[in-house]
Chains A and B, each alone.
Chain A
């Protein structure tokens, strides 16, 4: 077995029993990168200086000390941070090493990785297709076995949707569970770092490594990070009709309903659920995200770091402009304030739902991976791709993507959403599902 194909769990075990060395594990990944990267282009930077640790790919919007960090934007080309993000520091403290920095939509503005200033990443299942985004490089690197595991960040779908399109596990933790310190900000009220991995067990290892209060990010919670395994037999899982949309690609809804049946066989009780139409969440998110982007990207003045503001790409400019428009005098109440009120309705809606159910199941994305070019000339491309993950995002809820089948050799993903701080429950159910299926063991031919 090639060492680069190992899961994180297997890599930790193999190193412990001295079956192989760190150097061999790293060499297997760098050899794989050399062989497949010309086609995949998952990495912006490959770290040449590492000799020790378990190779983890990190999205290029996490500051990494002494390793170029660009957020896939021309404006940060050449920027070498003088410090590590908390996520990166914790990885290193736990014996992980930064194998490289992965491609993304510039400043995470997108759901295709096509809006990268460094060129698009290809989906390893079909090189003519998109990996999803914005953490598309991380998801592609994992399924292509270029790394043992990866880190992504999600503002609305940016972990779960590329995980779905690439057929890997992606956990978006509760907002405030994992520190944002050193993560190049997109929308500060929803940004959530999280793992993208080959298995649920791996996602749990990385999640437990990264979660917890950080004095450098005041929005992180003090809730204890536990490692509880919760029995599915006592759980009720809601199936919301609004998430199984008629316009979804043929077959996607059925794959997810089949997965729900697996959970039922394991002992969970399935109940029908009615939630607010996710289409309204798209608009809420669009307004809030642009507003926060316009404020967060104001710091790029080319004085302290980075280049001039004319280096922002079209998508970045579009988002900054809309944000400033909705926050400007005369429009604030109609757009920003209105969006925050509708956000409250979504939060209340989920509260009500979680009085009746433990978790919610639905497709992660209405389709399998789309062809390259699909995002071009569609101003709302990203938001409409992320329609099924945006409601939980604006409510700050945790969710996971799991591979649950294939349509014409392209992976389909399902998501499990839970109440805030319910990662243990989500991971437990995800783990039990994974043990019953072989979807996560499938690999593209490269």
Chain B
């Protein structure tokens, strides 16, 4: 499998993917802990799965359809009730740059 010790660059990259702002000590600690966990899970590579399909679900269900009717949902007031900031009936978020 992949290498076991995560580099600082990798940890920072994963933190970014995770939308987590981590302090230097946190990066240090999480890097160490993640490396330990990855070392543990590495033993899966001992198992031959060449002819084994991956599981996608355990319930055995196919599609679940329903009639396309509009059903009652949350009111605007209810939907906004836990938001920190609202404006004119909308959630307010930071500006998103893509």
Which A residues form the contact surface with B (CB < 8 A)?
A: 79-83, 175-176, 189, 215, 218-219, 221, 279-280, 282-284, 286-287, 294, 298, 301-306, 309-310, 312, 314, 317-318, 320-322, 324-325, 328, 330-331, 334-335, 337-345, 347, 379-380, 394-396, 420
Contacts and interface: CB of A to CB of B under 8 A. Distances in A.
A340 B64 contact: no
A328 B14 contact: yes
A351 to B, nearest CB: 12
Q: What's the dominant secondary structure at chain A's contact region?
A: helix
A322 B34 contact: yes
Contacts of A330: 2
18 contacts: A81-B82, A82-B74, A83-B78, A286-B37, A304-B79, A304-B82, A305-B82, A310-B20, A318-B34, A325-B14, A325-B38, A334-B1, A337-B54, A338-B44, A344-B54, A379-B36, A394-B58, A420-B58
Nearest to B53: A344
Nearest to B71: A215
Contacts of A344: 49, 52-55
Contacts of B19: 298, 301, 309
B26 to A, nearest CB: 7
B66 interface: yes
A436 B18 CA distance: 52
Contacts of A287: 41, 44
A344 B53 CA distance: 7
A157 to B, nearest CB: 17
A272 B45 CA distance: 28
B18 A345 contact: no
B35 to A, nearest CB: 10
A279 B46 CA distance: 12
A280 B40 CA distance: 10
Interface string B1-33: 110001000110111011111100010011001
B84 interface: yes
Contacts of A317: 18, 20, 22, 26, 30
Contacts of A283: 40-41, 43-44
A38 to B, nearest CB: 30
A221 B34 contact: no
Q: What's the dominant secondary structure at chain B's contact region?
A: loop
Interface of B: 1-2, 6, 10-11, 13-15, 17-22, 26, 29-30, 33-34, 36-38, 40-41, 43-45, 47, 49, 52-61, 64, 66, 74, 78-79, 81-84, 91-93
B49 A321 contact: no
A215 B59 CA distance: 15
A354 B14 CA distance: 41
Given A344-B54, A345-B47, 15 more contacts: A219-B57, A317-B30, A318-B34, A320-B18, A322-B34, A325-B10, A325-B34, A325-B38, A330-B2, A335-B41, A338-B44, A340-B56, A341-B49, A347-B58, A420-B58
A335 B14 CA distance: 15
A394 B33 CA distance: 24
A304 B30 contact: no
Nearest to A396: B58
Contacts of B18: 294, 317, 320-321, 324
Nearest to B84: A302
**Leading 6 A-B pairs by shortest Cβ distance:** A396-B58, A340-B54, A305-B82, A82-B78, A341-B49, A218-B64
A189 B47 contact: no
Contacts of B84: 302-303
A301 B19 CA distance: 9
A286 B36 CA distance: 13
B55 A343 contact: yes
A81 B33 CA distance: 34
B82 A324 contact: no
B20 A320 contact: yes
Contact of A345 (B11, B36, B52, B93): B52
